[in-house]
Structure 1
Amino acid sequence: MKSIIFFLFILLVASCKNSPNKTNQTEEIKSYLVEKETADGVALFDGETLDGWEVTNFGTQGPVKVSAGNIILNYGDGCTGVTYTNDFPTVNYQLSLEAKRVSGNDFFCGITFPVDTTFCSFIVGGWGGPVVGLSTIDGKDASENETQIMMSFEKDKWYKIRLQVSDQKIMAWIDEKNVLDFETADHKISIRPEVSLSCPLGIATWNTTGVLRNIRMKKL
């Protein structure tokens, strides 16, 4: 009996000695995760389900599915996309993701996003494949307004896309290239009617199969 009591006493002492270390380690891990989440932003896509998203009912969409950590927007007869269903800021935020074109020759990533009290779309690879820009600015599409640039996109290659919206500017990068630095003052910002169902935040393709992953948002 004495030996059992002595053994339990030893376990209790050991537990007391180890407890602070475990607590400290847990707190360090939590602190690291919080710092990482703050630096990288918040994940909007869990990589496994469309939780927080819904398939946009364009009426022209192809099948949408989640596979291997990706959202696959399959070729439709027009737009195929997903719309975010949770709260999202209207200004002073950054949206980042990776996207690629698998098939088709039009935009494989069209992000419709809020700009204060209105909305706009950032088009990547539109109008037959090379156009990048905002639709619409002063009633003109990305193929016609001052934000247009031309880029070549390879099929089945991932591109890192980053979009920033402040109360003064809309900026964007593809990989590390700054492709957009647009001052919004004195301009009418709007969207094409085809993507009205993507508001307040949606991502779509046009007659193209596109794949998305690592969708994140960070407040600025």
Structure 2
Amino acid sequence: MQIKNSLYKRTTPYIVVAFLIGLSACVGNQKSKNATETIPQRVDSGWVQLFDGKSLDGWQITNFGTQGTVQVIEGEIVLGMGDGCTGITWNGNFPKTDYEVKLEAKKITGNDFFCGMTFPVKDSFCTLIIGGWGGPVVGLSNIDGSDASDNESHTLKKFDHDTWYAIHLKVSSEKIEAWIDGEQVVDFSTSGKQLSVRSEVSLSKPFGICSWRTTSALRNIHLKE
């Protein structure tokens, strides 16, 4: 009995140490897993990163006059809810046609569009609306003077809060196409159509992203010509 007790006393510290090392490894793995969530996704060759995950380099906060705060937090651009649009506009050169944009966006609070992407189409401009008019509307504003709620690009889709959506825009000389999580939501021929933007987002030209009375977040913004 004394031998057993002596053995127990000698081995117990090693068991405790081993347990603590294992626990530390588990916590470290969890931290590592959480950290990877903010690392920009890898994309195919030819794509250029427009957001470095750390700053607004290359962007300016769009002075809508009614905007909420814009911050970079843990690898995300957070567009705070304002009394109208809150957004960012690209400072650099931007192609007019034959390009693609990929990004991820999520709605945090509010129930209107959490991603309004204004972009060039040759010598005109248009806006891809994600989640407008109370939350479900997807489409292009404007086509022949009609906005996304009332033209042929209009479709409805349910968007949950705190959920990332992968958005892919493609602009060619003949078409505007868009996908959400791989599902095509816009397939629009621009031939013979007049494109424009609503006055509320005109300051987003030539390329900008904004929300409307909604707090949203953006990440992994890339461009391919």
CA RMSD in angstroms, aligned pairs only: 1.0
Instruction: Please give the alpha-carbon distance, in whole angstroms, between the structure 2 residues aligned to 1:130 and 1:112.
Output: 19
- Give runs of ≥4 in structure 1 deviating > 6 Å: none
Instruction: Please give the alpha-carbon distance, in whole angstroms, between the structure 2 residues aligned to 1:218 and 1:76.
Output: 31
Instruction: Please give the alpha-carbon distance, in whole angstroms, between the structure 2 residues aligned to 1:195 and 1:76.
Output: 14
SS at match of 1:123: strand
1:92 maps to 2:98:
yes
1:165 to 167, 171, 179: 171
1:72 maps to 2:78:
yes
1:182 maps to 2:216:
no
1:42 to 44, 48, 69: 48
Mark the runs of 5 or more structure 2 residues left unpaired by the alignment: 1-41
1:96-151 CA distance string (max 9 Å, x none): 00000000000000000000001000000000000000000000000000000000
Aligned length: 184
Mark the runs of 5 or more structure 1 residues left unpaired by the alignment: 1-35
Instruction: Please give the alpha-carbon distance, in whole angstroms, between the structure 2 residues aligned to 1:38 and 1:143.
Output: 34
Q: Tell me the equivalent position of 2:135.
A: 129
Instruction: Please give the alpha-carbon distance, in whole angstroms, between the structure 2 residues aligned to 1:124 and 1:179.
Output: 10
1:140-190 CA distance string (max 9 Å, x none): 000000000000000000000000000000000000100010000010000
After superposition, where does 1:1-220 map in structure 2 within 5 Å?
A: 39=45, 41-219=47-225
Q: Which amino acid aligns with 1:132?
A: V
Q: Normalised by the size of structure 1, how large is the TM-score?
A: 0.82
How far has the Cα of 1:39 moved from its partner?
Answer: 2.3
Instruction: Please give the alpha-carbon distance, in whole angstroms, between the structure 1 residues aligned to 2:182 and 2:201.
Output: 27
Q: Which amino acid aligns with 2:134?
A: G
Instruction: Please give the alpha-carbon distance, in whole angstroms, between the structure 1 residues aligned to 2:221 and 2:97.
Output: 18
Q: Tell me the equivalent position of 2:5.
A: none
